[in-house]
């Protein structure tokens, strides 16, 4: 019995080599820090410069702007590979690539792209600030306000649960400039750390992905120049919807990687843990649990890869992305739970990695659209 490889038959030779190199990199460079980062609730400082140097923080940024010049699918491979070792690291890379950079590439002006994409590829972390206390699944019930002041805008309000907030220097912020227009008043703004009146607030003490920072953002009449409006005024809802549709594929990849990490740990443990005079891997009950987990992971992986390929091909992918996130998050939670079971009492301790995978898995059904929201998206596509 050996650890199942990713679906390499779906990959080109170049993608296969890339995936294998990523697996080695994350295992060697991130693996030794995972437990300590989780305990400290803080990313290891030496990792971010390494990620930038490797090109992992600007995968779709053109080479002419200092990026890797890759496509969306390569971003998915990176997110998956990182999550096999640490889902907290994976989501940091995920938000940078599938949300922040994708939004700037799709909606940014030539000036904004020339000014910001090289920074994001070189040394600047980005964050995506949509959620508020009143707007979770109802993403457009925003209370954060943007008031015109000459050619500038003044942003006031709060954002909650913002991933990468501690590390980020660039924030894509959604605020409503005219509540009477409902969601049609929502506009996207580029806010940079250091702008007067902008404060990164308290960091959440979370169940899982604890090394990934999740913070409140506070805006007190933060002056944002017109040059920092992302997309047309009043079209922020389109920026948000289209970006999140792509981001869900990234979360699906994160959950696939997480499940694979939990399964790898279980296979390794089952081979060395002995009961009744033989490794527990020899017992059919364990064999069947591992076989079912591997099958579920492969199915989820194929769904994620399919959605990513569709996106890169310019084909419709929205309900495939929703299916991929829905199913991959279910698989991740289920496989991580089985992994704890296989480890028995050891699985309930922090000495082994599976309890962390189990804690980390829960967020997959919640962020970037809950499972219920994915079901609604899928149903609308099928029943329209």
Where in the sequence numbering do the catalytic residues fall?
368
Task: Please give the sequence-ordered ranges of beta strands (E in DSSP) within 73-144, or none if there are none.
Answer: 126-129
Residue 235: HSE in the Cβ half-sphere, 13 Å Cα cutoff: 13
- φ/ψ (deg, to 5) at 203: -95, 135
Q: How far apart are CA 356 and CA 20, in angstroms?
A: 24
Quickly list DSSP for 171-225.
EEEEEES-GGGGGGGEEEEEEETT-TTEEEEEEP--SS-TTS-EEEEEEEEEEE-
Q: From 75, 73, 55, select the one nearest 11 (Cα to Cα).
A: 73
User: What pairs with residue 233 in β-bridges?
Assistant: none
Q: How far apart are CA 375 and CA 384, in angstroms?
A: 14
Q: Give whole-number Cα distances, 135 to 56, 75, 79, 84, 329, in Å.
A: 31, 28, 27, 31, 22
Q: From 323, 312, 359, select the one nearest 71 (Cα to Cα).
A: 312
């Amino acid at each position: 019995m050996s650890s199942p490889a990713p679906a390499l038959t779906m990959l080109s030779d170049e993608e296969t080599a890339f995936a294998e190199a990523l697996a080695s990199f994350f295992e060697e460079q991130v693996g030794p820090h995972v437990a300590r980062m989780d305990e400290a609730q803080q990313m290891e400082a030496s990792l971010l410069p390494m990620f930038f140097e490797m090109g992992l923080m600007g995968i779709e940024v053109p080479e002419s702007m200092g990026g890797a010049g890759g496509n969306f699918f390569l971003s998915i491979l990176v997110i998956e590979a990182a999550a096999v070792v640490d889902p907290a690291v994976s989501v940091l890379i995920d938000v940078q690539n599938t949300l922040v950079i994708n939004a700037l590439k799709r909606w940014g002006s030539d000036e904004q792209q020339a000014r910001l994409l090289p920074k994001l590829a070189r040394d600047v972390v980005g964050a995506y600030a949509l959620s508020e206390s009143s707007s979770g699944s109802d993403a457009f019930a925003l209370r954060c306000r943007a008031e015109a002041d000459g050619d500038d805008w003044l942003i006031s309000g709060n954002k909650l649960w913002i991933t990468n907030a501690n590390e980020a220097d660039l924030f894509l912020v959604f605020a409503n400039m005219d509540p009477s227009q409902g969601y049609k008043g929502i506009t996207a703004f580029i806010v940079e750390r250091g702008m007067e009146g902008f404060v990164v607030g308290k960091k959440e003490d979370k169940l899982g992905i604890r090394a990934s920072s999740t913070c409140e953002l506070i805006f007190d009449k933060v002056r944002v120049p017109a040059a920092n409006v992302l997309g047309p005024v009043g079209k922020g809802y389109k920026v948000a919807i289209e970006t999140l549709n792509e981001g869900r594929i990234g979360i699906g990849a994160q959950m696939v990687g997480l499940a694979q990490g939990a399964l790898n740990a279980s296979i390794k443990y089952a081979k060395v843990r002995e009961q009744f005079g033989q490794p527990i891997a020899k017992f059919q009950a364990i064999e069947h649990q591992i076989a079912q987990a591997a099958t579920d992971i492969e199915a989820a992986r194929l769904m994620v890869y399919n959605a990513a390929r569709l996106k890169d091909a310019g084909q419709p992918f929205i309900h495939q992305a929703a299916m991929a996130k829905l199913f991959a998050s279910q698989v991740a939670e289920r496989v991580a739970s089985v992994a704890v079971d296989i480890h028995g009492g050891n699985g309930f301790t922090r000495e082994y990695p599976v309890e962390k995978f189990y804690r980390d898995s829960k967020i997959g059904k919640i962020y970037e659209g809950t499972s219920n929201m994915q079901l609604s998206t899928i149903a609308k596509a099928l029943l329209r």
